[in-house]
Structure 1
Amino acid sequence: MCDGLVQHVSSKDSLAYFDQRDTSGGHFGTSLTPVELCVATPPKTQPRHGMIEPNMQVSAIRRRGGRLECIKVRWGWSPIWSVGTMPPLTHLPLHLVMRSKVFDQIKREGRVLVAVDGWYESPEPTAPHPAQRPAYVTSRQSTPIFIAALAQACENPLGCDGLALVTYGDIASQQQRLLAFNAEDALEWLAPDLGWEQAQQLIERMNATPPHLESGVTVQRPAQGGL
């Protein structure tokens, strides 16, 4: 599970990747090419310039009025029905989001993309060596990874604003992966008519060619004091 994002790409640059691709209705139905991921050494820049943890601000891309725009929102969403009773949601399974009525509004109005250089991923609880350090996951290409997310962002925040990353995977084993795209396919997530049936097709196509992760490489995550 992701527990830290590295986001050096600027809002302006992240929008530039869609200049030649954006259409008001998205382009759902094309063949997806899952982003090629690898485990690598994290960037050598100072962590405080790009390292993002839950409860910190993250830049996201959303569609409003047929146009794409960037917003700043806290990583960690507190729905009105959970305020004071549970910690902010940092991750949400796609199947739950698309099938539960409590998420109707945010799945309709709050689908966003988060452009990142990579993320820190904790080992699965069932891993042979649970004390293993988090891995830094990034793209083999020199372009950002676009992660699917849900965000509630109001002009006058009422304490509920925030963002949760969307995951998918094997429900039974509870092994979830981030729903990550390259720029060519990322607009699938922002298609206005995306419903549960289309989301299932999206998962099936993503699972057809699962992301490739090199094994045996772990990295030490920067100390929180440097953020």
Structure 2
Amino acid sequence: MCGRFAQIDTREKYLESLRPDVEFVGGLDGEPVGRYNVSPGTRVLLLNQREDKLHLDPVLWGYQPAWAKEAGRPPLINARVETAASGRMFKPLWTSGRALVMADGWYEWKKDPDNAKIKQPYFIYHENKEPIFFAAISRFHPDALDAPEDDGFVIVTAASDKGLVDIHDRRPLVMTREASLEWLSPDTTPERAEELAKDFVIPADEFTFHPVGKAVGNIHNDNAGIIERIDNPAV
């Protein structure tokens, strides 16, 4: 986790759900984002705060600093909350690149315990079907005419628990509304951000899931049918 997610609703709906207490810069139309199958390596709307204003910027999902590229390491799309704040790769992003990914849910593949080749995708979302916000860390230059090659972001993940561990042992870090807003603030220290990520996470039992078709496995499939429940899942 997390390798695919859905960013479907309108920008306005996401911001109304988050209820930010700082000004948002940019236009809000009634058009849904309409991405049912967001995949790594694509640009994703990333909510971030610069000084005292919120911005939405299209940022590449994936992070590969120059030294990692030279070493032949592939781009990373997730960062483990247990190590992101202190590790060489992500510490700079944790300090000054915290952001949120607006989402309606995410996908995980459950493996058959007797045959690892058999996998069944599930769509996971909040029980009230309201928007959720993944904690993310990023490095990007919104005002640059030519963005550096190592600009990008990763989604922060935490260990699954309760029912979600049956689907996958990791899940995106989704914090409470208040904690998410504090996470965004440039005034929040890296140490405080660690506290938020540890102590203000929405519990797993507030999420639910259902099986979906295997069409989600193809990034070219991106329509409302992707998230529909199917009968008789393989696992």
SS in 1 for 2:15: helix
Larger relative contact order (Cα-Cα within 8 Å, sequence gap ≥ 6) = 1
CA contact (8 A) 2:140 2:151 kept: yes
Structure 2: runs of 5 or more not aligned: 24-33, 223-235
Cα deviation code 1:46-72 (max 9, x no counterpart):
xx8432111111111001011111010
Question: For residues 114 and 156 of structure 2, what CA distance do their matches in structure 1 show?
Answer: 26
* Large movers: runs of 4+ above 6 Å: none
Paired amino acid for 2:173: L
1:1-227 equivalent positions in 2, closer than 5 A: 1-19=1-19, 21-22=20-21, 49-84=35-70, 85-123=72-110, 127=113, 130=116, 131-154=118-141, 155=144, 156-169=146-159, 175-181=169-175, 183-191=177-185, 192-196=187-191, 198-200=193-195, 202-206=197-201, 209-214=203-208, 217-222=210-215, 223-227=218-222
- 2:129 and 2:122 map into 1 onto residues whose CA distance is 19
**Identity of aligned pairs, percent?**
23
Query: Structure 1 residue 23: deviation in Å?
Result: 5.4
**C-alpha deviation, 1:101, in angstroms:** 4.6
Distance 2:101 2:58 in 1: 10
Partner amino acid, structure 2, of 1:22: D
Opposite residue 89 of structure 1, the aligned amino acid is L
Per the alignment, do residues 190 and 200 of structure 1 end up closer, same or farther by CA in structure 2, a change over 3 Å counting?
Answer: same
Deviation at 1:103, TM superposition (A): 2.8
Q: Give TM-score scaled by structure 1 length.
A: 0.73
Alpha-carbon spacing, 1:2–1:184, altered in 2? closer, same or farther (3 Å) = same
SS of residue paired to 1:17: helix
State how far apart, in whole Å, the 2-side matches of 1:214 and 1:144 are: 13
Structure 1, unaligned runs of 5 or more: 25-47
Q: Counterpart amino acid of 1:88?
A: P
- Normalising by structure 2, report the TM-score: 0.71
SS of equivalent residue, structure 1 residue 133: strand
* Residues 105 and 125, structure 2, Cα contact 8 Å, conserved in 1: yes
Q: Tell me, what secondary structure is at the counterpart of 2:211? A: coil
The 3 A distance-change label for structure 1 pair 187 and 145 is: same
